[in-house]
Amino acid sequence: MENLIGLLVAAPLLGAAVLLCGGKRLDRAGHWLGTALAAASFVIGVVLFADMLGRDGEERALHSHVFSWIPVEGFQADVAFQLDQLSMTFVLLISGVGTLIHLYSVGYMEHDARRRRFFGYLNLFLAAMLLLVLADNYLLLYAGWEGVGLASYLLIGFWQHKPSAATAAKKAFIVNRVGDMGLSIAIMLMFTTFGTFAFEPVLAGAGETSEGMLTAIGLMLLLAACGKSAQVPLQSWLGDAMEGPTPVSALIHAATMVTAGVYLITRSGAVFNGAPDAQLVVTIVGAVTLIFGAIVGCAKDDIKKALAGSTMSQIGYMVLAAGLGPIGYVFAIMHLVTHGFFKAGLFLGAGSVMHGMNDEVDMRKYGGLRKYMPVTFVTFGLGYLAIIGFPGLSGFWSKDKIIEAAFAKGGTEGWILGGVALLGAAITAYYMTRVMLMTFFGEPRWKRDASGAVAGASPQRPDVEPVAENAADADTAHPATGAAAEPHPHESPKSMTIPMIVLAFGSVFAGGLFSLNSSFVHWLEPVTGHDHGHSPLSAAAVTSATVVVLLTGVALAWAQYGRRPVPVLAPRGSLLTRAARRDLLQDDFNHVALVKPGEYLTRGLVYVDAKAVDGAVNGTAAAFGGLSGRMRKVQNGFVRSYAVSMFGGTAVLIAATLLMRAV
């Protein structure tokens, strides 16, 4: 069985190699090859899962040593895998959702000339992500971590002909470098502290290590998690990452890769358990992000960006839970899995809508689509109910548990965190209802009027300041769009709807299944540990509060977007709305705080380089050149001069020798 673990990674890796190196010959069948290998990985995962269920809780972990990567005295890096319940959960999620999204992409990318390459990158991502969760040491995890970063970069910028996509890819990569730096520093700290970076000795040794060191390691790990999981303050890349094809957003930037930070924190539980300060910072980051992302999600008119804000917020929940320690680890992972289902489903639904709407992403130009896309509507609707935590659906079970756990933290902290989590639930209900209403209900806002232009249809430009957008529309956009065809919304092909349906099942039932007899808690407990904590509120009270805030959020949204028609052009909005449209000024902040000083530093360095360094170098070169020109004049071609030189040289030689003796 151990030998199968390597195959989990090897299958998609093989796919990536074949598809990326295979050339045009594979254009016709490449996507099916990629999908088949992803499915193969999933099948192997299921086999290993069945095998794992056959053993008792404590003996479920499997280890597989593949080869010694860097065998040096005092520094042992192995390519070795560890498959325990935590990894198993991720393997099934990654390969399962991954396979569905491969399938979906077959339809979605049908008309793209570079589809084979797209599947190559997707397979590369799967391989790297599986490596990340299967590694049995931090160094190999780091390799996977960088691998998913690379795949993410390649896929965000997949439509590289669009400058916005290329910029977004670079942005994601660069912001992630900051987080990656944290991970590499954490690994170095581990190595100096424990002399190794394998999970087992590090986590076992955490108990006997000073709290200061654990806090340092924990904060560095948190920095890494912030980068990969788009948590404040490294969250700015996720919104732009929506430039990638929608299946990518669904797989990488919703279901799997962005949750790697939660995996990292949960996996390093022993480190954080010994460092309460680091844990506190983790919960703060999670709480801030969950509100931050939710507010951003409320203001966006671009359906994918609204969902991206939601992703940020939901991962905030997971990070918050992970920061709670043993009370929260299990629920962080549980929410991660249910979120993987419903968020992937929501993104695929959004992709399906865009597919039917000429790639329009502005929800203000949707409306009333439920009649035209019934399957999309139902699956998206189930995902919607799941994410807002409608009682009985997946999101309800997992989110409710996190809110409970936040209260169970105890003390003032518990109250604050629990309150924030509740507030987040209300905002989640608000913005998701808004998305639902703007897209599927109300009057269609995409129809042309008699003049052939209208309904304010403009080329998609969701991020432009609304006022500016109006001006631009008035001057230039209208004549141009007059020629654009009116969209003909239609249901997507089977290859796209089937994955959506499957994911909808997950959105509905996964949470309940996990909560049945606390099965998920029992499943993960041997790895992460579990603690009930002491909640000041009863479970029933928390659940009731959750339902109440959820209904409040839904009602507010309905009052704003259900009862009244949605304006096609975004109103100017309050200060907060405008800030939220600009992602709460995160880019502006980064620009002022980081980019500008960086530019000045660069300019200064270039100046120093040009003047001082180059000056010194060129000056030295010129000096030697001049010296050389002078010295070669001695070489005048006359033997007599040469002879004099030899004679003089000899005289000096003798004189110096005698002088040495005299001295």
Choice between 211 and 614, CB closer to other proteins: 614
Cα(325)–Cα(319) distance, rounded to whole angstroms? Answer: 10
Do the Cβ atoms of 108 and 351 come closer than 8 Å? yes
Least distance from other proteins to the Cβ atom of residue 613, Å: 15
Query: Is 600 or 624 the residue whose CB approaches other proteins more closely?
Result: 624
Q: Find the shortest distance in angstroms from Cβ 619 to other proteins.
A: 14
Of residues 574 and 641, the one with the C-beta less far from other proteins: 641
The residues binding other proteins (CB under 8 A) are 621, 624-625, 627-629, 631-632, 634-635, 637, 639, 641-643, 645-646, 648-650, 653-654, 656-658, 660-661
Closest CB to other proteins among 483 and 662?
Answer: 662
Residue 656 CB, shortest distance to other proteins, in Å, is 5
- Nearest CB to other proteins, comparing residues 613 and 643: 643
Task: State the residue for tokens 């109910």.
Answer: 385
Dihedral of CA 261/262/263/268: which sign?
positive
Residue 12: closest CA among 92, 131, 118, 123: 123
Closest approach, Cβ 624 to other proteins, in A, equals 6
What minimum distance in Å lies between the beta carbon of 277 and other proteins? 48
Spatial CB neighbours of 428, under 8 Å, sequence gap ≥ 6: 294, 297, 310, 313, 314, 387, 388, 389, 550, 553
CB atoms within 10 A of CB 225: 31
CA atoms of 24 and 321, how far apart (whole Å): 47
The smaller minimum CB distance to other proteins, of residues 615 and 649, is found at: 649
- In terms of phi and psi (left: phi > 0; alpha: psi -120 to 50; beta: otherwise), the region of 325 is left
Pair 194, 254: CB distance under 8 Å: no
Kindly state the tokens that stand for 434: 């808004």
Half-sphere exposure of 402 (CA within 13 A, CB side): 37
Spatial distance between the Cα atoms of 12 and 130, rounded to a whole number of angstroms = 9
Residue 485 amino acid letter: A
Residue 455 makes CB contacts below 8 A (sequence gap 6+) with: 365, 445, 446, 447, 448, 449, 568
Could you tell me which residues are beta bridge partners of residue 77?
Answer: 70
Measured from the CB of residue 380, what is the shortest distance to other proteins in angstroms?
59
Name, in order, each residue with C-beta under 8 angstroms of 183's C-beta and a sequence gap of 6 or more.
Answer: 138, 142, 145, 220, 221, 223, 224, 264
Which of 563/661 has CB closer to other proteins? 661
- Spatial distance between the Cα atoms of 234 and 229, rounded to a whole number of angstroms: 8
Shorter beta-carbon distance to other proteins: residue 573 or 648: 648
Q: Taking the complex as a whole, how short is the minimal distance between the CB of residue 635 and other proteins, in angstroms?
A: 6
Of the two residues 602 and 635, which places its CB atom closer to other proteins in the complex?
635
As measured in angstroms, the least distance from the Cβ of 229 to other proteins is 43
Rounded to the nearest whole angstrom, what is the least distance from the CB of residue 658 to other proteins in the complex? 6
Distance between CA atoms of residues 563 and 162, nearest Å: 38
CA distance 122 to 125: 5
Smallest separation, CB 15 to other proteins (Å): 37
Nearer to other proteins, 210 or 645 (CB): 645
Q: How far apart are CA 51 and CA 35, in angstroms?
A: 24
Minimum gap (Å) between residue 650 Cβ and other proteins: 5
Pair 572, 467: CB distance under 8 Å: yes
Work out how close the CB of 179 gets to other proteins at its nearest, in angstroms, rounded to a whole number.
36
The Cβ of residue 492 has, within 10 Å, a number of other Cβ atoms equal to 22
Q: Which is nearer to other proteins, 607 or 642 (CB)?
A: 642
* CA dist., res. 473 & res. 281, Å (int): 45
Hey, is 590 helix, strand or coil? Answer: helix
Shortest spacing between CB 42 and other proteins, in angstroms = 47
Nearer to other proteins among residue 1 and residue 651 (C-beta)? 651
The distance of closest approach from Cβ of residue 71 to other proteins in the complex, given in angstroms and rounded to an integer, is 22
Q: State which residue, 174 or 622, has the beta carbon closest to other proteins.
A: 622
Distance of closest approach, residue 621 Cβ to other proteins, in angstroms: 7
Cβ-based nearer residue to other proteins, 3 or 636: 636
Chain mean position to CA 552: 30
Strands 62-72 and 75-83: antiparallel
Residues 6 or more apart whose CB falls under 8 angstroms from that of 574 comprise: none
**DSSP letter string, 403-438:** HHHHHHT-HHHHHHHHHHHHHHHHHHHHHHHHHHHH
Beta bridge mates, 83: 62
Closer residue to other proteins, CB minimum distance, 559 or 653: 653
